[in-house]
Structure 1
Amino acid sequence: MILQQLQTYLRTHSQTSLEELVCQFQTDADALRGMLNLLIRKGRVRKLAGKQCGSCHSCAPESLELYEWVNSDST
């Protein structure tokens, strides 16, 4: 059931960070990565290259790990 909810969320928020997904679904980041990797293999989601915001290293890695919905006609 959460996989369907994740797809719906990504469809309505075309780009989102892993940190946002952890907060939204109150689920462990590694569990979400597993679901996101499944959606990546199916061609529905793509992982965007993580951007570096500076050299302070104080940002949570999950806030820089971005995902994008790429397929709007499949569920």
Structure 2
Amino acid sequence: MQLRSDMKAIHQQYTYRPLRWRWAVYHETMYRQGDSYPPKLSTIGTKVCEYQTREEARREVYRLNGWTYREKKV
């Protein structure tokens, strides 16, 4: 996707998703195009790193987003 001059970045965050047998962390940026209603939204994600387990990826996403990480209770 090519960014146009009327597209504005409105939200950024890190997320994680499965990638084959591993977990990938992505930096996602949401863009709004023009001033129409409903707004035309597009998201672009860039892979940052990969981890062996879901919990490792989750921990890294919390760190990158500046969130407080708490262990999941089993």
Shorter-chain TM-score bucket reads: under 0.3
Q: TM-score, normalised by structure 2?
A: 0.28
Q: TM-score, normalised by structure 1?
A: 0.28
Structure having greater relative contact order (Cα 8 Å, sep ≥ 6): 1
Largest Rg, 1 or 2 = 2
